Amino acid sequence: MSDLCLYHHQSPVHFQDPLPETVDVVIVGGGVIGVSTAWFLRERGLSVLVCDKGRVAGEQSSRNWGWVRTMWRDPDEVPIAKDSLAIWERFQ
C-alpha cells in the first residue's frame, strides 16, 4: 500500500545557500497557505523567506487546508473553491 503514497517517493528539499540578511517578509510554514502567500507577495515585488520544519506542503497541508477540493463542501464554500481553480491554472 505504501507504493501508492506519493509522500514516500518525494525527496526532501534541502536549501544549501546562506540565508539572506534581510527580507521584506518571513513566512513560517511551507504549507499551501504559506507558499501561496509567498507566491503572491513575490508577484508584488517583495522579498520573501519561507521557513518550514519539514517537507514543503508535506506536513499539515496534507491534512487540513491542503485538501483543496470542490466535492462535498459546505455550499457556502463552493464559490471560493471555484475561484481557486481559476487561480490554480495560473500556477501551472
pLDDT of residue 4: 46
Tell me the domain boundaries of the chain: 22-61
Per residue, what are the HEC states of the chain?
Answer: CHHHCHHHHCCCCCCCCCCCCCCCEEEECCCHHHHHHHHHHHHCCCCEEEECCCCCCCCHHHCCCCCCCCCCCCHHHHHHHHHHHHHHHHHC
Per-residue pLDDT 10s for the chain (92 aa) are 444 444 455 556 677 888 899 999 999 988 888 999 999 999 999 999 998 887 776 666 655 654 556 666 677 877 887 888 888 788 76
